[in-house]
């Protein structure tokens, strides 16, 4: 049996990012998944991991190098061409490869989602679009079709939307299932640009998509991800209750939080097979 392929798309990963609830989860889970085999099938997984190349991810210190065959294409965001640059490094201990989505305007000179004064970047909606599309375009150029994509953090939450859009254009991601994590620490109070609906139109969003994103806030963004996902992992004891209730009300496959990390990761690994085999589109 061929190993099932799991793609992780993350808002942040330690130690490249400072340690937070999300960055630690996004570091520890892929390492666990890569090193553990299923007890029944005796099969392991193939994994790929992506995050943005924020300015604090030092290229020399982290020994990043550009992946020429994945870089160079332009993505049109809000009618403007933006060059996609893909760099790769590895986690210090496990040597798990991490692909970094980079762009001179959106990431090279900016840390995370806020400036040095803590102000939410006004183009975070565009940065999110670029990162999510860029990750999927890089995977397509790798010709590495994932069985399942697991997103961690709201900045990676447009993956379900883009998978639906891409599947209308070609068959590369046909059959790929999506799991979305719900955390309690990544919420924000700000709204995205009031031009977000216009930007979404350029991204091929339907009237339903634009309605779901209508609030232009954290809840709307994550609700849209949940709507188009196949499985939900409650990854935090403080996960937003509205989102958890929404996922259950929409009859999604939901995995409850478990404070025992090793047991929780084992459950997530088995959960992947449940979601992949669910047959839901």
pLDDT digits (tens, 9 = 90+) for 146-162: 999 999 999 999 999 99
Q: How far apart are CA 180 and CA 171, in angstroms?
A: 22
Can you read off the two tokens belonging to residue 228?
Answer: 């188009």
Torsion of CA 162, 95, 88, 11, to 10 degrees: 40
The structure's pTM equals: 0.94
Q: Do 51 and 12 contact (CB within 8 A), yes or no?
A: yes
> What pLDDT is attached to residue 63?
87
Q: How far apart are CA 6 and CA 132, in angstroms?
A: 16
Q: How far apart are CA 105 and CA 21, in angstroms?
A: 27
Q: How far apart are CA 166 and CA 8, in angstroms?
A: 18
Which residues 6+ apart lie within 8 Å of 137 measured at CB?
73, 75, 84
Would you call 8 exposed, middle or buried from its count of C-beta atoms within 10 A (0-12, 13-18, 19+)? buried
> What pLDDT is attached to residue 259?
96
Q: Do 57 and 105 contact (CB within 8 A), yes or no?
A: no
Nearest residue to 185 via CA among 228, 154, 149: 154
Q: How far apart are CA 160 and CA 59, in angstroms?
A: 30
Q: How far apart are CA 75 and CA 78, in angstroms?
A: 10
The one-character DSSP state at 105 is I
> What pLDDT is attached to residue 128?
97
Residue 182 sits at φ, ψ, to 5 deg, of: -110, 120
Q: How far apart are CA 10 and CA 170, in angstroms?
A: 25
Q: How far apart are CA 119 and CA 96, in angstroms?
A: 33
Mark the ranges of the chain whose per-residue pLDDT is less than 50. Answer: 40-41
The one-character DSSP state at 257 is -
> What pLDDT is attached to residue 240?
94
> What pLDDT is attached to residue 38?
57
Question: Is residue 234 helix, strand or coil?
Answer: strand
> What pLDDT is attached to residue 95?
78
Q: Do 70 and 138 contact (CB within 8 A), yes or no?
A: yes
> What pLDDT is attached to residue 170?
77
């Amino acid at each position: 049996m061929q190993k099932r392929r799991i793609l992780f798309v993350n808002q942040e990963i330690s130690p490249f990012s400072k340690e937070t609830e999300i960055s630690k989860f996004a570091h520890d889970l892929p390492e666990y998944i890569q090193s553990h085999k299923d007890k029944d099938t005796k099969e392991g997984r193939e994994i790929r991991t992506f995050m943005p190349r924020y300015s604090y991810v030092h290229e020399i210190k982290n020994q990043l190098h550009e992946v020429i065959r994945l870089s160079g294409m332009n993505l049109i965001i809000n009618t403007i061409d933006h060059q996609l640059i893909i760099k790769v490094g590895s986690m210090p201990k496990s040597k798990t490869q991490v692909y970094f989505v980079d762009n001179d305007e959106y990431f090279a000179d900016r840390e995370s989602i806020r400036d040095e004064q803590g102000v939410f970047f006004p183009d975070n909606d565009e940065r999110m679009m670029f990162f999510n599309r860029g990750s999927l375009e890089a995977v397509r150029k790798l010709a590495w079709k994932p069985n399942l994509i697991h997103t961690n953090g709201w900045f990676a939450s447009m993956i379900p939307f883009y998978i639906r859009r891409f599947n209308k254009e070609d068959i590369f991601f046909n059959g790929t299932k999506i799991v979305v994590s719900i955390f309690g620490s990544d919420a924000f109070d700000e709204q995205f640009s009031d031009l977000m609906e216009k930007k979404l139109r350029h991204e091929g969003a339907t009237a339903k998509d634009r309605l779901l994103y209508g609030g232009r806030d954290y809840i709307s963004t994550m609700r849209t991800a949940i709507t188009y996902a196949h499985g939900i992992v409650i990854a935090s004891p403080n996960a937003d209750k509205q989102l958890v209730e929404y996922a259950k009300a929409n009859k999604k496959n939901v995995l409850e939080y478990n404070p025992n990390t090793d047991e929780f990761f084992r459950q997530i690994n088995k959960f992947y097979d449940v979601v992949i085999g669910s047959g839901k589109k």
